Amino acid sequence: MEAASMDLRKMDRLRQGPSDNVLADLSWAYLHRGRKLDAMQLFKRIKTTRMPLLISLMSKFSAERNLPACKELFSFSKNNPRAVDILVEVLLYSGETNEARRLLDSLSNGKIPPSGRSFGRVIVKLCKANDLEGAYGVFLNMRSLQLHDPNAYVSLSGLLRRRHRIEGNLNATETNDSVHC
């Protein structure tokens, strides 16, 4: 690998860029050795995107919750659904629920919509925050794309039951108060 790195530097000095295959192979080698930043730098020089390499890089940075690196790599993804899943996961972990929601909204009209899994994760997060309106809006968007996620249904129905139970208790309290007056 070190010899390949030296050859790469030599090609750069001679202003002959290495082929995409050489860059991809070297990037994979760096990635497998745990040198994610070096792998990412080489990946960015590849002219034709290698989706498996991109997804692997995003997954590695996702494990570290490295949002800036994931966002930068996502710009190469052409909205690949798996890349969207990874970015949404990191955004949610970083507390950027609204940004994840905006990302899904912006990608919903594209040629390749995000997966139901991405929508489901955002819905679950919004339900945990008791944001019924936000969760329902994302749910309607998901349904309009004919996507499904079982976790989204469970979380949304749970939030609706909790809200109904709370409102039912409030109405019962108001009724009891009026009887005693």
- Does any domain span residue 42? no
Q: What is the mean pLDDT of the chain?
A: 82
pLDDT for residue 14 is more than 80: no
Question: pLDDT, tens digit, for every residue of 127-174?
Answer: 988 888 899 999 998 988 888 888 888 888 988 888 888 776 655 555
Q: Evaluate if residue 42 carries a pLDDT over 70.
A: yes
Q: Is residue 143 part of a domain?
A: yes
| Residue 174: its H or E element | helix 150-180
pTM attached to this predicted model: 0.74
Residue 70 counted as domain residue: no
Distances in Å between the alpha carbon of 148 and those of 69, 76, 83, 123, 161? 29, 26, 18, 12, 20
pLDDT (tens digit per residue) in 62-102: 998 999 999 999 999 888 889 999 999 999 999 999 999 98
Task: Quote the pLDDT of residue 96.
Answer: 92
Count of domains in the chain?
Answer: 1
Is 112 a member of any domain?
Answer: yes
180 pLDDT band, cuts 50/70/90, is very low
Separation of alpha carbons 115 and 112, rounded Å: 9
Q: Which residue has the higher pLDDT, 174 or 61?
A: 61
Q: How confident is residue 179, by pLDDT bands cut at 50, 70 and 90?
A: very low
**In the chain, what percentage of residues exceed pLDDT 90?**
23
Assess if residue 149 is contained within a domain: yes
The boundaries of the domain holding residue 176 are: 97-180
| DSSP-derived secondary structure letter, 17 | P
49 inside domain: no
